[in-house]
């Protein structure tokens, strides 16, 4: 049971009304997959801690070859490590299973590369805390601040939206959302098998198949390496199709 403690802040809505969010006694786990993120992971963890909202953090390192694990160990976040590189989907699954084992009442998936803003976690998780949703997807397309690379916005994500709409009747603005939150009950129910980027589509398809209460909220995404995103685009697109048609 969620115990609301004291008001922490007010979250503005698009209709200029406010909902009250509480600093809560709730077992919330932030799961962060990492692979060679020594330059950013400590700062990401600290930015989450600075929100001061009782979040638990677990980092799952996917067999990095750099000092990512050492950087995490400089913080008070829990750290797990794969002995072989398995992919982001597998790392998120490991972290989610750990959170479930620890009695998580809500689980948030978050990246280690400073693309997401820790200050927006409370907005992504608010519909779950307020019992309006079972799963929440962050959307880059609902925010004017996200500098999405042209190829990703107009090719990869456009095709992903069309596949979801035509074949699965899924109408979400951001089909490859990596910033998401789910209730503890949903974390126990959703069981994705795709180890790499195709996990995004698989999680989304399972959520709709289970007829969960789903919301999208705007998030900010900051891209810093446009060249890498462009050249990795075809691989992401291929894995998206794998996730869409693999059962």
In 3D, which of 19, 2, 17, 34 has the Cα closest to residue 122?
19
Q: pTM of the predicted model, to two decimals?
A: 0.78
- Identify the domain containing residue 9 by its residue range: 3-147+177-186+202-222
pLDDT, one tens digit per residue, over 177-207 is 789 999 999 999 998 877 676 677 788 888 8
161 within domain boundaries: no
Which distant-in-sequence residues (6+ apart) come within 8 Å of 147 by Cβ?
221, 222, 223
164 within domain boundaries: no
166 within domain boundaries: no
pLDDT, one tens digit per residue, over 18-66 is 334 445 568 999 999 999 999 999 999 999 999 988 899 999 999 999 9
CATH of residue 70's domain is 3.90.550.10
Report the number of distinct structural domains present in the chain.
Answer: 1
In 3D, which of 183, 188, 190 has the Cα closest to residue 205?
190
pLDDT, one tens digit per residue, over 93-139 is 999 999 999 999 999 999 999 999 999 999 999 999 999 999 999 98
48 within domain boundaries: yes
243 within domain boundaries: no
245 within domain boundaries: no
160 within domain boundaries: no
CA 134, 116, 220, 244 torsion-angle sign: negative
């Amino acid at each position: 049971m969620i115990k609301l403690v004291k008001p922490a802040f007010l979250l503005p809505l698009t209709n200029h009304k406010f909902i009250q969010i509480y600093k809560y006694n709730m077992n919330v786990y932030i799961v962060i997959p990492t692979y060679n993120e020594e330059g950013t992971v400590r700062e990401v963890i600290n930015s989450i801690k600075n929100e001061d909202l009782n979040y638990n953090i677990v980092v799952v390192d996917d067999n990095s070859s750099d000092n990512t694990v050492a950087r995490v160990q400089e913080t008070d976040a829990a750290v797990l490590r794969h002995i072989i590189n398995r992919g982001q989907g597998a790392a998120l699954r490991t972290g989610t299973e750990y959170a479930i084992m620890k009695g998580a009442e809500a689980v948030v998936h978050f990246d280690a590369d400073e693309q997401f803003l820790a200050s927006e976690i409370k907005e992504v998780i608010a519909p779950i805390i307020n019992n309006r949703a079972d799963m929440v997807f962050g959307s880059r397309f609902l925010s004017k601040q996200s500098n999405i690379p042209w190829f990703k916005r107009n090719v990869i994500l456009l095709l992903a939206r069309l596949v979801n709409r035509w074949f699965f009747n899924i109408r979400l603005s951001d089909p490859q959302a990596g910033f998401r939150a789910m209730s503890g009950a949903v974390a126990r129910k959703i069981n994705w098998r795709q180890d790499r980027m195709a996990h995004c589509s698989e999680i989304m398809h399972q959520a709709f198949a289970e007829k969960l209460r789903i919301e999208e909220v705007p998030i900010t995404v900051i891209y810093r390496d446009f060249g890498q995103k462009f050249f990795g685009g075809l691989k992401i697109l291929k894995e998206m199709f794998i996730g869409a048609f693999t059962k």
